[in-house]
Amino acid sequence: MSNPDYTIYIKTADYKGASTDVSIYITFIDVNGKKSRNITLTDDIFGGKFEKGQTNKFPVSDISGLADLKFIEISRGIWGFGGNWFCECVWVVNEQVGGTPAPVYFPINRWLRQYVTLKIQKWDCSLPQNDASPQQRAKEIQEKQTHYVLDRKFPGVPAQVKDLPQQEMFTDHYQNDVLILSGASLGIVGNLAKVFSGDWKSVDDISNLYQTGCGFDVPQGRYRWDEDSYFAKQRTQGCNPVIMQLCTKIPSALDVTNDMLKPFLEGYTLDDAVSKNKIFLCDLSMLHSVPLAGVPLDKELVHPYALFYLNKEDELTPVAIQLFATTDKRYPHTVFLPTDGNVWKLAKMFYNNADAMVHQSSTHLGFTHLIIESIAVAVNRTLSMSHPLHRLIAPHFLYLMAINSLAITSLLAPDGWIDTTMTAGRDGVLDIIAHHFKVWRLDVEGTLPEEIKARKLDDPKVLPDYPYRDDGLLVWNCIKNYVAGVVNGHYKNKNDIANDFELQNFAEILVAPYPEGCEIKGVPGNGKFKTQEEIISAFTSFIFTSSAIHAAVNFGQYDEYGFPPNYPAFMNGKAPRDKSPITEADLLKQLPNKPMTVSIMTITRVLSQRATESLGDFEVNYTYDPVGVAALKQFNIELKEASAIIDERNKHRRIAYNHLNPKNIPNAISI
């Protein structure tokens, strides 16, 4: 057989229903507009080509006289099994003597439907005002708008996609290797939960659970749960490290006094310690009116304050907890202190239970999973796949809608895991999200440097040891530089931005009230992007939230929740009203019982799995244009440098913090 003139490579996407056995037709178009013959690529009689996740190679001949390729036209036949076909990418190698040997990439990332021919430009990356096929592009967006419809599934929370589009479903690989195996472990541990019954008899009794051969590692919280220093560390590197703020004034409802705290402030009065920036506050008073639902047990969700002091060794230590942060006289204002014995331990547990409700509802579910899904729907409704910003953001939506759909139908279902293992229950969790969404802003809570500044913790001299801030800012800057490389490479001036009608439609839908839009506050430009800086800020926030914030608040869950005294998802009975002495047995009675503990351990272990690639290493490659390729290459260089810095920092930390090391950050919210 003579040498081919060209070799065509075709990759079918790894989506459900992406395969086909019909013929595929391709025509080359060179930079001068000259066309090749129509090339027919067929499956063989045994099948096996154009299967999902597969790359096929086709040598072709009788094509000569073409200059460098600029476009392809691609379509599918109308006869055969497998209707629509989702092609990920086509690349072509010129095998002729004197030809350019480098592959020419034509990323498709689209469904090919009957009777439709797509014209795809090399790299397929252009602003809409520069697109060579504007009608095709507009029709594509119109079609996607029928599949990506905003739907607010619960009152007051960020909108999601109404029905899960086919291409957003889990791949078979992810379904089989991650979710089914996880489901199997849930079944095994579900049976284990039936074996364990009743309440815990001692702390050691809980620890025995890790010795049963059921596959549970000993969570980090087991070793330090009763240390005050670790209780403080949970505020700076636990799974909810976004609550603590510098205390510049003691809240009026917090009944602490100078005399009360004198033994813990190393000679300072409370007023002096506040003035010298040595007092830090956690304020969860927003939980005051949260409705409780779920298991019909006697329970109470507190709405606490906690005060921390930065000692002479620059270490945080808790000095006071008041479990009811309200002027409502129905609630006592008892202030619990580190010298209060077991009742102090119980106060810390009730505080952490309240913190856990904020973590699971607002910090985790509401403002990583749901807010990013809302943004993902907006992207798909307004930005063509050919848009450079769609290609930039697409890797960070992998499995997002699928995992959220699964969570809504299982964990968040009535009588589901949240109802049966969390104090707030389903209704309480949704209420917390809705309450926070009223005030949440992309340019504050969704922008790491501003979020830290709002809590007055941006100065390392004020709080020297804050791993979430320090490692997070490293990653933030890597992402910002990456986004800037793409944005500045495609938008040369303000006219490029103003004339990008897809981008402006996207900006508008982000801020528009539901049901027309996502109703997100604080979007730079407030519905109209005008500068490169505004675009860079917004897309940096989107990617950082999808990757780094989710990693920080998700992957430490088992280490925190896996040992109930450390960070209890559920507390039985009422919180302490006074300092009456209690025993360890009294503490244990208020913790989750054995079956509930096993359920909490199981789910948080599954949620703590990393099952996709690290930041910058994309499962699906969307970027082939020179601007994007150069930006991505530099991004990975900077991520590697950041990873080395964090590795070195961890050598000197009392407790290593790995959740924001780039090698441990997935690209997207996929679990």
pLDDT in tens, 262-283: 999 999 999 999 999 999 999 9
Please determine, for residue 189, whether its predicted confidence score (pLDDT) is greater than 60.
Answer: no
Q: Who has greater pLDDT, 330 or 531?
A: 531
| pLDDT for 329 | 79
Residue 87: phi, psi to the nearest 5? -95, 130
pLDDT single digits (tens) 590-619: 999 999 999 999 899 889 988 889 999 999
Q: Is 578 exposed, middle or buried (0-12, 13-18, 19+ CB in 10 A)?
A: exposed
pLDDT confidence bin for 467, thresholds 50/70/90 = very high
| pLDDT for 246 | 98
pLDDT confidence bin for 303, thresholds 50/70/90 = very high
Q: Who has greater pLDDT, 1 or 96?
A: 96
Peptide bond just before 158 cis, omega within 30 deg: no
| pLDDT for 313 | 96
pLDDT single digits (tens) 95-114: 998 877 899 999 999 999 88
Q: Give the tokens for residue 394.
A: 């697409």
pLDDT single digits (tens) 69-99: 999 999 998 766 656 899 999 999 999 988 7
| pLDDT for 82 | 55
| pLDDT for 295 | 63
pLDDT single digits (tens) 628-653: 999 999 999 999 999 999 999 999 99
pLDDT confidence bin for 452, thresholds 50/70/90 = very high
Report the relative pairing of strands 6-12 and 55-60 from DSSP bridges: antiparallel
Lowest mean pLDDT across 130-134, 164-168, 427-431: 164-168
pLDDT single digits (tens) 379-421: 999 999 999 999 999 999 999 999 999 999 989 999 999 999 9
DSSP 242-294: T--EE-SS--TT----HHHHGGGTTT--HHHHHHTT-EEEEE-GGGGGPPP-S
Cα separations in angstroms, 409 against 31, 357, 437, 464? 51, 20, 22, 43
Percent of the chain with pLDDT over 70: 94
Mean pLDDT of 153-177: 88
pLDDT single digits (tens) 2-31: 789 999 999 999 988 888 888 999 999 999
Please determine, for residue 176, whether its predicted confidence score (pLDDT) is greater than 70.
Answer: no
- Closest among 134, 224, 171 to 54, alpha carbons compared: 171
- Closest among 88, 139, 181, 147 to 401, alpha carbons compared: 147
Please determine, for residue 121, whether its predicted confidence score (pLDDT) is greater than 70.
Answer: yes
pLDDT single digits (tens) 354-379: 999 999 999 999 999 999 999 999 99
| pLDDT for 270 | 97
Q: Cα 317–576–558 angle (5° rounding)?
A: 55
**347 with 323: CB under 8 angstroms?**
yes
| pLDDT for 177 | 62
User: What is the chain's mean pLDDT, rounded?
Assistant: 93
Domains of the chain with CATH codes: 6-122 (2.60.60.20), 160-168+355-564+595-664 (1.20.245.10)
| pLDDT for 388 | 98
pLDDT single digits (tens) 225-242: 999 999 999 999 999 999
DSSP state of 180: I
pLDDT confidence bin for 328, thresholds 50/70/90 = confident
Q: Who has greater pLDDT, 199 or 574?
A: 574
List residues bridging with 593 in a β-sheet: none
DSSP 538-577: HHHHHHHIIIIIHHHHHTTHHHHHTSTTTS-S---SPPPS
Mean pLDDT of 440-453: 98
